[in-house]
C-alpha cells in the first residue's frame, strides 16, 4: 500500500511538470507583480515569419498584458516598439554581425544590474535588482545554449522519410551533446550567482531544455515553477512540431505567492510563445 502511494505521488509529480489539468488561479490584487518572459527571435528581423506586423503585434500584446517586469530574450534594437512605459531598463546587446541581446524592462527602480557572460557562447544572462515599495528583489533573464533543432524539424523529417543513416545520426548526436554540455556549464554559472544573492529571486527565460532535465533542476533549485504552481494544460512555449515543448520558464523565490500563470501558444509571432505570471510578495518570516 505504501509503495503504491509512493508510485502514485511520483507519477503525479512527473505529470505536473508536463501537463496540468487545471490552474490554481488566485484572486488578483492591485499590489500584485505581473512578470512576462518572451524570446522574440529578434522581432522577426530576418522575416522567418511572413508577416510585416510582428513588432506591432508584440507591442500590442505587451500593452494588453501590461507586465510590471518584462524579460526579453533575443532582443534587437531594430524593433519599433515604444518601451517608454518602462522607465527602468537594462539592455545588453553584443555580436559582430547580428546584434543579439537581452533586455529587462521594469516599472520599478533598478538599484543594481549586471551581466553573466557564458564562455565560448553568444548566450548569456542579465539581472537587475528592483525596489518595489520597501522590498528589493532580483530578476534574472537567462538564455541558455540552443540545441540547433528548428521548430519544424526538417532534419528529423528527413531521417523518418529517408531512413536514419549512421553518419547523420552521429552528426545530430554530436551537436546536441555539445549543446547539452554547454547548457550544464551555463546553468552552473547561473546557480552559483543566484546563491550569492541575499534578495528574493525571480528567474525568467529560455532554457532550451525540458522540465525533466538536469539543467532545469540545477537552475530551479528550490524555487517555484510558476507553471506547476498555477498553470494549466501543456504550458507549451515553443513551436516544436512533434510535441508541446515547454522550454521557457518563470521561477520564483518561496517568498512569492504564485497567483496565475499563462502560456500564449496561439500568439505566433516568434518560434517561442510568451508566458505571463502574476505573483505577490509575501511578508518574510524570520
- pTM higher than 0.85: yes
Position 100 pLDDT exceeds 90? no
pLDDT in tens, 179-198: 899 999 999 999 999 999 99
Choose among 236, 223, 25: nearest CA to 140.
Answer: 223
C-alpha cell at 226: 510558476
CB-based contact 58:269 (threshold 8 Å): yes
pLDDT in tens, 140-178: 999 999 987 655 444 444 444 445 566 666 777 777 888
Average pLDDT over residues 197-217: 97
E strand or H helix at 145: none
The domains of the chain are located at 21-281
CB-based contact 192:159 (threshold 8 Å): no
Tell me which architecture the domain covering 21-281 has in CATH: 4-Layer Sandwich (3.60)
Confidence of residue 12 (pLDDT cuts 50, 70, 90): very low
Amino acid at each position: 500500500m505504501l509503495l503504491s502511494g509512493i508510485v502514485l505521488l511520483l507519477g503525479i509529480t512527473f505529470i505536473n511538470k508536463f501537463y496540468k489539468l487545471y490552474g490554481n488561479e488566485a484572486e488578483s490584487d492591485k499590489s500584485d507583480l505581473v512578470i512576462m518572459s518572451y524570446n522574440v527571435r529578434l522581432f522577426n528581423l530576418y522575416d522567418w515569419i511572413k508577416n510585416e506586423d510582428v513588432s506591432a503585434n508584440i507591442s500590442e500584446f505587451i500593452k494588453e498584458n501590461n507586465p510590471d517586469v518584462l524579460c526579453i530574450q533575443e532582443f534587437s534594437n531594430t524593433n519599433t516598439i515604444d518601451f517608454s512605459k518602462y522607465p527602468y531598463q537594462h539592455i545588453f546587446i553584443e555580436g559582430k554581425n547580428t546584434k543579439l541581446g537581452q533586455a529587462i524592462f521594469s516599472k520599478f527602480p533598478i538599484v543594481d544590474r549586471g551581466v553573466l557572460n557564458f564562455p565560448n557562447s553568444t548566450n548569456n544572462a542579465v539581472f537587475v535588482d528592483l525596489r518595489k515599495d520597501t522590498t528589493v528583489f532580483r530578476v534574472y533573464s537567462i538564455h541558455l545554449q540552443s540545441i540547433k533543432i528548428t521548430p519544424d524539424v526538417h532534419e528529423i523529417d528527413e531521417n523518418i522519410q529517408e531512413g536514419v543513416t549512421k553518419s547523420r545520426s552521429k552528426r545530430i548526436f554530436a551537436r546536441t551533446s555539445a549543446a547539452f554540455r554547454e547548457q550544464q556549464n551555463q546553468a552552473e554559472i547561473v546557480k552559483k550567482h543566484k546563491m550569492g544573492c541575499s534578495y528574493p529571486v525571480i528567474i525568467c527565460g529560455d532554457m532550451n531544455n525540458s522540465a525533466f532535465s538536469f539543467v532545469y533542476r540545477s537552475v530551479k533549485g528550490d524555487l517555484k515553477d510558476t507553471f506547476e504552481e498555477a498553470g494549466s494544460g501543456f504550458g507549451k512555449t515553443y513551436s516544436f512540431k512533434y510535441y508541446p515543448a515547454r522550454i521557457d520558464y518563470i521561477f520564483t523565490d518561496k517568498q512569492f505567492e504564485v497567483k496565475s500563470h499563462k502560456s500564449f501558444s496561439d500568439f505566433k509571432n516568434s518560434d517561442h510563445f510568451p508566458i505571463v505570471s502574476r505573483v505577490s510578495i509575501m511578508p518574510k518570516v524570520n
